Chain A
Amino acid sequence: MDALLEVSGVVKRFGGFTALDGVDFMVRPGERVGLIGPNGSGKSTLVNCIAGTLRNEEGRIRFGGRDIHTYPAHRRIRLGLARSFQIPKPFASMNVLDNLCVPLLYAGEAHDQSAHGRIAEEARHILEQVGLADKAHAMSGGLTQVDMRKLELARAIAAKPRLLISDEAMAGLSTSEVDDILELLMGLKEKGVAVIMIEHVMRAVMKFSERIAVLVAGRKIADGDPQTVVGTPEVVKAYLGE
């Protein structure tokens, strides 16, 4: 099957520091991929380059057969490339429902003014999916951590993505909360949405991923079947030392 996302030879430098050093990475349509690596290995930088919030200096990023590395972030999301943020970024002056209306209006049916009624309905539907339906009219700034993470994902889902990048949506959550979010992400497979999960919670990554890629110090050192990858000596060394 053709790749949905194709990252080849991506280099990103911050001054003299090379955060990504020629990373190759790909995702097929509907695939669930785990992206792991120690802190500072470049995972978030890679996400930022893919989503367009940072520009890579070298290399190509193709999405759905299109070269997108010159596209600003808002054009990438309209093509179906959505992300959630590691630290939740709610639109704090709006309630939860209105938060979803932003991507629904701008990434979904931006040109259809008549769709306003349908948009509220759709937003409600997504909130039901993620379990925030009863908080639709709560102000988003006052949500609990787990609800904010859910809102992050809901807002990404509202953009009707073909690929969703979940950037540490589970960090700091309890076991049952992790399961909630995991179930939510698993459910996207049925809709044909590919997911890249960046996570330190290994239990979740192993359960979720069909494939795992490992990033260490800006280079990809392993990519393949989860069980095999976590068994390779380089990966063990990167995580546990010699």
Chain B
Amino acid sequence: MSNGKFTAVALAVALAIAAASQLIPNEYFFTAAYIVLQFVILATAWNILGGYTGYVNFGSAAFFATGAYSTVVLYNAWKAPLPVMIVTGTLAAGLLGLGLGWLTLRLRGVFFAIASLALAVVLYTFIVNWDYVGGARGAYVLQPREVPLGLPRYIHLLYIVMVLQAAASLIVARVIEKSTVGRGLAAIRDDELAAECSGVPTLRLKIFSATVSGALMGMAGTTFPFYLSYVEPSSAFSLSYAVNSIAMPLIGGMMSWIGPLIGAVLLGTVQQLVQVTISSAWNLLIVGVLLVAFVTLAPNGIMGWVEAWRRRKGR
């Protein structure tokens, strides 16, 4: 499928989902679906650097929180409109990815992973001590009284925004995957030295990949303060962002755009169900168990399974 066709289909599906779900009477659906969609974006974004390029990012929370806190700043300063917040948060997190990439991606192997973890810690400390955005106390970001588009509640709008953001992330991921750049990234993942010696400008592509990945993660965080009307450092930098954005692509499959989508929908939905039916404390435990199961039984994720099955059938 060409890029244009895929974009059209993805947007059409997104709009259909957004419209159809307005018929769902249960308000809680939107609250739960928001979180699942958040993970679709995070997993898709993480996979651009982690899956396509082979560089593991442990600092997803730093990028997510950058998006969230840029919204807090814009809210405190000007009560800026939502689209402005989304664009600003995306750009800010993209810049963060660019900076981290530029500083650490010259080094091979685990250095980037360690630096990404350190980045989350440093940013967390910075936010905790920054009074303007509420410091450790947190900040209130009130939902506007007027809900646009004639929607019943603000969560409906946030949900629609998330659906569109998820579609946009998937489009970006797929366009990159199928492009010359995507082939270069795959070469870097397989063997960086051989890639460089085949003419691939490895450093430039890695930095590009880190920037796009960071920007999309930031985008996922931009509406988060409105979601709870309140944001504080330990929720914005929650461990679950780092863990889930690694686990979901791993479970779904890291080689293509569809793997993180499957992983996020599956794992995200299970987590939401467990949260309601059993207990919220079980969330990360479930992720851990599934992760161990997949790493040992299906190291290439669900899509890897499907691929292997297809190949066997084709023979």
The yes or no verdict on A and B being binding partners is: yes
* Option from B193, B198, B201, B255 in Cβ contact (under 8 Å) with A102: B198
In contact, B196 and A94 (Cβ under 8 angstroms): no
Does residue B190 face the partner (Cβ distance < 8 Å to A)? yes
Which single residue of chain A is at the shortest CB-CB distance from B203?
A: A72
Given the complex, which residues of B lie within 8 Å of A101, measured CB to CB?
183
Does residue A239 face the partner (Cβ distance < 8 Å to B)? no
Number of B residues, CB within 8 Å of A: 20
Q: Mark B171-206, 1 if CB is under 8 A from A, else 0.
A: 000000000100110110111011111111111000
Which single residue of chain B is at the shortest CB-CB distance from A51?
A: B197
- On whether A91 and B194 interact (CB within 8 A), knowing A98-B183, A101-B183, A102-B184, the answer reads yes
Query: Chain B's nearest CB lies how many Å from the CB of A157?
Result: 12
Given the complex, which residues of A lie within 8 Å of B180, measured CB to CB?
105-106, 110, 113
Query: Chain B's nearest CB lies how many Å from the CB of A90?
Result: 7
Given the complex, which residues of B lie within 8 Å of A113, measured CB to CB?
180
Determine the distance from Cα of A98 to Cα of B198 in the docked complex, in whole angstroms.
12
Determine the distance from Cα of A72 to Cα of B205 in the docked complex, in whole angstroms.
14
Number of A residues, CB within 8 Å of B: 30
Does residue A155 face the partner (Cβ distance < 8 Å to B)? yes
Determine the distance from Cα of A21 to Cα of B180 in the docked complex, in whole angstroms.
41
Secondary structure at chain B's binding surface: helix, strand, loop or mixed? helix
* Option from B196, B199, B200 in Cβ contact (under 8 Å) with A53: B196
In contact, B189 and A102 (Cβ under 8 angstroms): no
In contact, B197 and A106 (Cβ under 8 angstroms): no
- On whether A73 and B186 interact (CB within 8 A), knowing A105-B180, A113-B180, the answer reads no
Query: Chain B's nearest CB lies how many Å from the CB of A70?
Result: 15
In contact, A89 and B200 (Cβ under 8 angstroms): no
Does residue A25 face the partner (Cβ distance < 8 Å to B)? no
Determine the distance from Cα of A213 to Cα of B169 in the docked complex, in whole angstroms.
55
- On whether A53 and B190 interact (CB within 8 A), knowing A105-B183, A110-B180, the answer reads no
Given the complex, which residues of B lie within 8 Å of A89, measured CB to CB?
191, 193-194
Q: Which of A85, A105, A110 has the most CB of B within 10 A?
A: A105
Given the complex, which residues of A lie within 8 Å of B198, measured CB to CB?
74, 77, 102-103, 106-107, 155, 158-159
- On whether A103 and B199 interact (CB within 8 A), knowing A85-B194, A91-B191, the answer reads yes
In contact, B202 and A93 (Cβ under 8 angstroms): no
Does residue A92 face the partner (Cβ distance < 8 Å to B)? yes
Does residue A78 face the partner (Cβ distance < 8 Å to B)? yes
Determine the distance from Cα of A107 to Cα of B195 in the docked complex, in whole angstroms.
10
Q: Mark A100-138, 1 if CB is under 8 A from B, else 0.
A: 011101111010010000000000000000000000000
Chain B residues numbered 199-249 whose CB sits less than 8 Å from any CB in chain A: 199-203
Q: Could you list 17 examples of A-B contacts with CB < 8 Å?
A: A51-B197, A53-B196, A53-B197, A72-B203, A74-B200, A77-B198, A89-B194, A91-B186, A91-B194, A98-B183, A102-B187, A102-B199, A103-B198, A106-B199, A108-B199, A159-B198, A159-B199
